């Protein structure tokens, strides 16, 4: 063989070995890179899971806070209504006294007319605050709105109906401040 061919054949096994070594190194590098990619993917999945968990927790916290605010507002409104009702309940006896005084007033007395004007103003102020008088006379007795002080026979009223209102009852919204004191037919 020619000398060139010999040299070429001698170098060929070395080149093959180098190529094989390079291929093995490349395979190891590729395997290592693939392992790193898998590890990074796993870290990304874990991070996304944690982010999702944190987001869900945050959303729940926001909803709980909104519910807390609504409950607090509702409780405050209820407390205001009860306080308002307590104050009005303490003032109602004054209105009762003024109304009784007007029932026994002398006729054509300017002073009595002034008291009647005060009573109307008092009643309109209570109405503007949401206070309503419980209409009871002739109505069916309802223990939620009426308090019976006597039960009597009466020809003009059916059994269980209110004959007379002794003291007016009042409501604030849907809440009874004071039930009406009534006489009931048997």
Q: Can you tell me the mean pLDDT for 29-44?
A: 90
Q: What is the pTM of this model?
A: 0.62
The total number of residues shown for the chain amounts to: 186
Angle between helices 3-103 and 110-128 (to 10 degrees): 160
| Higher pLDDT among residues 22 and 161, named by residue | 161
Q: To the nearest whole percent, how much of the chain has pLDDT over 90?
A: 54
pLDDT above 80 (res 123): yes
Query: Is the per-residue pLDDT at 4 higher than 60?
Result: no
Domain boundary assignment for the chain? 1-96, 130-186
* Confidence at residue 27, expressed as pLDDT on a 0 to 100 scale: 78
The pLDDT of residue 160 is 87
pLDDT recorded at residue 183: 92
pLDDT bucket at 159, cuts 50 / 70 / 90: confident
pLDDT at 70: 97
| Phi, psi dihedrals of residue 170, rounded to the nearest 5° | -140, 150
Counting beta carbons within 10 angstroms of the beta carbon of residue 139, is it exposed (0 to 12), middle (13 to 18) or buried (19 or more)?
middle
Query: Residue 24 pLDDT more than 60?
Result: yes
- Report the top-level CATH class of 130-186: mainly beta
Q: What DSSP string describes the chain?
A: --HHHHHHHHHHHHHHHHHHHHHHHHHHHHHHHHHHHHHHHHHHHHHHHHHHHHHHHHHHHHHHHHHHHHHHHHHHHHHHHHHHHHHHHHHHHHHHHHHHHHHTPPTT-HHHHHHHHHHHHHHHHHHHTTEEEE--TTSBP-TTTEEEEEEE--SSS-TTBEEEEEE-EEEETTEEEEPEEEEEE-
Predicted confidence at residue 3, as pLDDT, reads 54
What pLDDT score was predicted for residue 12? 52
The pLDDT tens digits of the residues spanning 48-71 come to 999 999 999 999 999 999 999 999
């Amino acid at each position: 063989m020619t000398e060139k061919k010999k040299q070429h054949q001698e170098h060929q096994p070395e080149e093959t070995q180098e190529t094989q070594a390079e291929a093995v190194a490349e395979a190891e590098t590729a395997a290592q890179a693939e392992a790193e990619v898998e590890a990074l993917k796993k870290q990304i999945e874990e991070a996304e899971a944690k982010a999702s968990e944190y987001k869900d927790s945050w959303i729940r916290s926001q909803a709980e806070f909104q519910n807390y605010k609504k409950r607090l507002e509702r409780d405050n409104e209820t407390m205001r209504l009860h306080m308002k009702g307590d104050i009005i309940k303490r003032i109602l006896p004054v209105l009762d006294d003024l109304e009784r005084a007007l029932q026994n007033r002398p006729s054509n007395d300017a002073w009595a007319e002034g008291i009647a004007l005060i009573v109307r103003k008092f009643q309109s102020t209570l109405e503007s605050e949401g206070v309503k008088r419980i209409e009871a006379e002739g109505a069916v007795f309802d223990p939620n709105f009426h308090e019976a002080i006597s039960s009597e026979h009466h020809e003009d009223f059916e059994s269980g109906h209110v004959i007379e209102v002794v003291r007016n009852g009042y409501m604030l919204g849907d809440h009874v401040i004071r039930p009406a004191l009534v006489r009931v037919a048997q």
